[in-house]
Amino acid sequence: MTSWWRHRSIRVRLTLWYAAALSAVLRGFAGAASGIVGPGIGRDMSTRRLIEDLVPKVTVPLVLDADALNLLSEHRTILPRLSPQIVLTPHPAEFARLSGLDDAMKDAVAARFLAEPLRNEQIDELFKFYLH
pLDDT of 30 above 70: yes
Q: Are 118 and 82 in contact (CB under 8 A)?
A: no
Mean pLDDT estimate for the chain: 77
pLDDT of 121 above 60: no
- Residue 49's pLDDT band (boundaries 50, 70, 90)? confident
pLDDT of 5 above 60: no
Residue 20: CB atoms within 10 A of its CB come to 10
Residue 71: CB atoms within 10 A of its CB come to 23
pLDDT of 131 above 50: no
- Residue 9's pLDDT band (boundaries 50, 70, 90)? low
Give the distance, in angstroms, between the CA of residue 84 and the centroid of all CA atoms in the same chain. Answer: 14
Residue 62, judged by CB atoms within 10 A of its CB (0-12, 13-18, 19+), counts as buried
Separation of alpha carbons 46 and 116, rounded Å: 31
pLDDT at 18: 81
| Percent of the chain topping pLDDT 90 | 8
pLDDT at 124: 63
| Percent of the chain topping pLDDT 70 | 66
Per-residue pLDDT tens digits for 62-116: 999 999 999 999 988 888 888 888 888 888 788 888 888 776 676 666 666 656 6
pLDDT of 53 above 50: yes
132 vs 88, higher pLDDT? 88
Separation of alpha carbons 67 and 10, rounded Å: 28
